[in-house]
Structure 1
Amino acid sequence: MSISLFAYHGQPELRQIVIDHISHLASQGFRSNTTKGSDHTNGFLEALADGSSDPAVAFQKTGFPYPLLQICESIFKGLPTKQAAAFAIELVQTAQIDADISDVAFHFLEWMIEDSLSTHGRSGLQFSAKDKGLVLAKLAQMQCDVSSAAIIKKLTRQAKRHDLPIPTSDEKFVLDALHLVLGGSSAGSAVDWIADLAPDPEAKYALFARKLIELVKTA
């Protein structure tokens, strides 16, 4: 069971401060007002954290856990400027103070990997991960029942006990991939990896933005 994490730490005043801040930055084109100079454009993390790239600061401001912040950052950077601004504003407005967002990153990545698996197949995903950094490269060699063996055994026992289908090889691969990505703090890299597989990465990032906001809305 995951620890409950509420958006904006359950504080309505903090939520409004973040919404006002992001809206102001969006009106300025997310230009930085830090010592980096006016030509520097804030990423999502920097926008939330007043110019800092420290995710701990962004968490203090929003209550968004690190994997979720990584996903947001990758989507923000993958979208065209105007769409990125609209995404940032909609996201911070959508998150409510009573929303438990602890599992949003998990559910988003699970959906993303399952969707990509149906399109590219397991071998296609593993081959494409080879040059995507040390953590994702492990997917290329990963056996479907190694890194999350305990989880798979538990799910298999539960399935048999309740007369449910035993997890398939693809389902095991998804669980292994999630275990690897979340455990290695590579949620953002995973988003970029899957987007790069698409014929139109910008359209893929736009799809990711809609899905993430949907998950935040229903949290």
Structure 2
Amino acid sequence: MVAFHGKQEVKDLYLGRVRAHRAADQLQQNFGYWRRDGNGEFRGCAVGCTLHSSNHGAYEAELGIPRILARLEDGIFEGLPAERAQAWPEEFLSAAHPGADLSMVWPQFVVWMLSDSEWGIARFAKTDKTRAAIERVAEFYGRLVAGDAIAYREWRDADAYAAADAYAAAADAYAAAAAAAAADAYAA
């Protein structure tokens, strides 16, 4: 899968669409994907204004962008301050060049998200067991980025280990559950 199926015109189409929706004040957080408001006008979130639907998987078919990145775009959009969120869909689509291989963007993001010393989830670990679960999943993603093949069984075991820790330590559940979700997302 390559970004925008290797075609500048595909990128231009979707960038033009999100720019037009932003200019028309149709880009809205916490509204839903793509639907009519009380005045009969269409509005939507980052994904809705890009696709005119709620199907994150359509990013793959229509834009050549992995659906996990569509979900990431959506989550970031909804969590940004309102003014900052307005520019996000355009920035997201602008970041990739037509033909770029985006397959390692999610694994690289997960390594950062789990293990970065300043921003990573590992800093929230309250026990050594939780820290180990997070580090194990980050290690797997690091191996993936390095080009190693990781067996499904290894992903499943990492998921089970991280999930078991999440349930065992309720106070630490947020950090361990994030690690489990990252492993599960790849296994799926």
TM (normalized to structure 1)? 0.54
CA distance in 1, matches of 2:10, 2:16: 10
Matched, 1:58 2:71: no
Q: 1:176/1:53 Cα in 2 relative to 1: closer, same or farther (>3 Å)?
A: closer
* Residue 5 of structure 2: aligned partner: 9
CA distance in 2, matches of 1:65, 1:103: 10
CA distance in 1, matches of 2:47, 2:129: 28
Deviations 1:34-76 (A, max 9, x none): 65335774122212211x1012323223211111111111001
Q: Which amino acid aligns with 1:123?
A: T
Deviations 1:23-42 (A, max 9, x none): 1111123169x653357741
SS of residue paired to 1:55: coil
Native 8 Å contact 1:6 1:97 kept in 2? yes
Residue number among 172, 183, 188 corresponding to 2:187 in the alignment: 183
Native 8 Å contact 2:4 2:11 kept in 1? yes
Q: 1:86/1:35 Cα in 2 relative to 1: closer, same or farther (>3 Å)?
A: closer
Pick 1 or 2: higher relative contact order, CA cutoff 8 A, min separation 6. 1
Q: 1:107/1:122 Cα in 2 relative to 1: closer, same or farther (>3 Å)?
A: farther
What percentage of residue pairs aligned between the two structures are identical? 21
Q: What 5-or-longer segments of structure 1 have no aligned partner? A: 128-135, 144-173, 185-219
CA distance in 2, matches of 1:86, 1:137: 38
Q: Which amino acid aligns with 1:91?
A: F
TM (normalized to structure 2)? 0.61
Count of residue correspondences: 141
Deviations 1:104-160 (A, max 9, x none): 111111110112244212639959xxxxxxxx99734149xxxxxxxxxxxxxxxxx
CA distance in 2, matches of 1:6, 1:87: 21
Q: What 5-or-longer segments of structure 2 have no aligned partner? A: 132-158, 167-177
Give structure 1 regions of 4+ aligned residues with deviation exceeding 2 angstroms: 34-41, 56-61, 115-118, 121-127, 136-140, 174-184
Matched, 1:36 2:40: no
CA distance in 2, matches of 1:179, 1:94: 25
CA distance in 2, matches of 1:112, 1:57: 25
Deviations 1:54-102 (A, max 9, x none): 1232322321111111111100111122211212111211210031101
Q: Which amino acid aligns with 1:42?
A: G
CA distance in 1, matches of 2:54, 2:128: 33
Q: Which amino acid aligns with 1:183?
A: A
